């Protein structure tokens, strides 16, 4: 009989971070993963660890704490996670975007975090391949990059030093509750694991696990796509996003001066050059269910948008494309919480495109919640209970 203090369902970056933090606290912990570690969303994304693409408030706060944890973990871990504190730049195409960006930067600074407006001259000094007709942008030193694969495996290997067990190719088929709806065990296609505490860290698949205990978790898959260029000299020295990306992320009605193709697919530039010399270019935010296939027309739009900001890309070859799905939570915040109506059941999911950036703080918060300790900061806005009095149908319509 296999028995653990805590079972973490999901071997992605949120699950492995949570398992690591719990094992470090002395809990006996097991990860149950239906495929391989880092085989889901974490394997179909870039490595941005950003504060700057968050909404002012709790979103920025958790981003800041998470990036600081990455700095600490990069020094502590014996496994390289390729953390690089390289800063971050937003670029603005119009005066309207510049005005919105300046307002956003002021709100971020009001929370005590560094971010400033930069003019086109400084932008091009930092990134020589940027188009010369842009209006300006934002700059912060705080943000950086990691390798998501290496982060997941580092959490696992470091966790094993504290006794963490990992069971890959174990599909969860049910969760047993006692008469008081307290968690008793997790059933898989390869046997039963006994525990009083379960963390649902399944990202886009979190609703399926939720249904096993009678919960309707308001998370749905939101598709993104990326293209990868051939190796070349560094095109972008940091992570760069058009500010329209942030506006499109949180305000679906925002309109930009773009082609019909770009507008149709809500494509916005994000770009980074990896350690290997390839440049990764995105992206889009679309609702396509669980489909992860690359779509030719959308890749055309991504390429068009990238060339608009980085004209040099028109002479470079694309060597591959890929798609992935993000766990979109209907109010744009993740759920990091205990579930009162099901004692022993916890949720750490719904980070949409921020799972890589927020993994360290999510794991730490979840370990503190399970241990009934004071959390790193007031995380009540991330609580499951926030949905109790919400009309989820109306929220879904607004979120889309």
Instruction: Please give the Cα distance from 20 to 155 (Å, whole number).
Output: 6
In 159-291, beta strands by DSSP E = 165-168, 172-177, 183-188, 191-194, 198-200, 219-229, 239-242, 270-273, 279-282
Residue pair 361/69 in contact by the 8 Å Cβ criterion: yes
Q: Is residue 163 exposed (0-12), middle (13-18) or buried (19+ Cβ within 10 Å)? A: middle
Tokens representing 227 are 């293209």
Q: Is the alpha carbon torsion for 337, 370, 29, 356 positive or negative?
A: positive
**207 to 99, 100, 193: CA distances (angstroms):** 39, 35, 21
Query: What distances in angstroms separate CA 170 from CA 36, 182, 266, 338, one per listed residue?
Result: 9, 22, 37, 24
pLDDT tens for each residue of 132-149 = 999 999 999 888 889 999
Pairing of strands 2-3, 191-194: parallel
**What contacts 67, CB < 8 A, 6 or more positions away?**
49, 50, 51, 142, 143, 144, 357
- Give all domains of the chain, ordered by start, each with its CATH number: 2-44+149-218+331-399 (3.50.50.60), 88-141+220-329 (3.30.9.10)
Blockwise average pLDDT, block size 10, the chain, 400 residues: 96 98 99 94 72 80 92 96 90 94 92 92 96 96 88 98 99 98 98 99 98 97 95 92 81 82 92 91 92 95 98 96 93 96 98 93 99 97 90 51
CA 335/CA 265 separation, integer angstroms: 27
Output the pLDDT for position 256.
86
The predicted structure's pLDDT at residue 397: 47
């Amino acid at each position: 009989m296999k028995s653990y203090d805590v079972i973490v369902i999901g071997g992605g970056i949120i699950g492995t971070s949570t398992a690591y933090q719990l094992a470090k606290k002395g809990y006996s912990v097991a990860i149950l993963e239906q495929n391989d570690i880092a085989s889901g969303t974490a394997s179909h994304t870039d490595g941005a660890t950003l504060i700057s693409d968050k909404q002012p408030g709790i979103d920025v706060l958790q981003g800041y704490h998470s990036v600081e944890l990455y700095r600490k973990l990069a020094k502590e871990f014996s496994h390289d996670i390729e953390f690089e504190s390289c800063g971050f730049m937003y670029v603005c195409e119009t005066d309207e975007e510049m005005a919105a960006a300046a307002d956003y930067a002021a709100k971020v600074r009001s929370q005590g975090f560094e971010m400033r407006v930069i003019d086109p001259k400084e932008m091009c000094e930092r990134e020589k391949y940027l188009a010369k007709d842009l209006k300006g942008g934002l700059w912060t030193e705080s943000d950086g990059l990691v390798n998501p694969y290496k982060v997941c495996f580092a959490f696992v290997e470091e966790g094993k030093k504290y006794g963490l067990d990992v069971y890959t190719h174990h599909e969860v088929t049910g969760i047993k509750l006692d008469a008081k709806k307290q968690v008793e065990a997790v059933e898989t296609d390869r046997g039963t694991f006994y525990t009083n505490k379960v963390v649902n860290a399944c990202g886009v698949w979190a609703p399926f696990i939720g249904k096993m205990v009678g919960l309707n978790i308001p998370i749905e898959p939101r598709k993104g796509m990326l293209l990868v260029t051939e190796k070349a000299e560094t095109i972008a020295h940091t992570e760069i996003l058009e500010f329209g990306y942030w506006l499109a992320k949180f305000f679906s009605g925002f309109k930009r001066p773009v082609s019909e193709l770009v507008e149709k697919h809500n494509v916005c530039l994000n770009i980074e050059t990896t350690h290997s010399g390839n440049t990764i270019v995105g992206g889009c935010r679309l609702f396509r269910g669980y489909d992860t296939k690359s779509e030719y027309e959308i890749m055309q739009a991504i390429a068009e948008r990238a060339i608009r900001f980085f004209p040099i890309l028109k002479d470079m070859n694309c060597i591959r494309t890929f798609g992935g799905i993000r766990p979109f939570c209907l109010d744009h915040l993740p759920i990091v919480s205990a579930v009162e109506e099901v004692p022993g059941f916890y949720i750490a999911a719904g980070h949409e495109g921020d799972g890589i950036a927020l993994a360290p703080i999510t794991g730490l918060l979840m370990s503190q919640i399970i241990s009934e300790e004071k959390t790193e900061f007031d995380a009540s806005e991330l609580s499951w209970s926030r949905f109790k009095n919400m009309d989820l149908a109306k929220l879904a319509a607004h979120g889309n």
